Amino acid sequence: MEDVKDNELDKLIRKCYQCMSKSDINDIFVVYEDSDEIIEIVYDIKKRVLAVDKVISYFENLEEYEICHRLVQIKERAN
């Protein structure tokens, strides 16, 4: 059962990463998008940076540093 939960969490966080990488942290910042749902963090730069940090932490634990680097670049663009 734990593998199923881990697999679902991994899918969710990877989907969040994909959405974040397509969004502009200083404009419309979508953290999750599915066919019937869009989750956006309204313009609160601290909350947006915190969301990016949480995704970075997840990928650091998996040692996927290329993704971490891309997320850090997104975070650095925050005004």
Model pLDDT for residues 1-53, shown as the tens digit of each residue: 567 678 999 999 999 999 999 999 999 999 999 888 999 999 899 999 999 99
The answer, yes or no, to whether residue 75 has pLDDT greater than 90, is: yes
- Residue 8 has a CB neighbour count (10 Å cut-off) of 10
What is the Cα gyration radius of the chain? Answer: 13
**CA nearest neighbour of 45 among 57, 27, 20, 59:** 27
The answer, yes or no, to whether residue 69 has pLDDT greater than 80, is: yes
pTM over 0.75: yes
DSSP, collapsed to helix, strand or coil, labels residue 17 as helix
Q: What is the pLDDT of residue 53?
A: 98
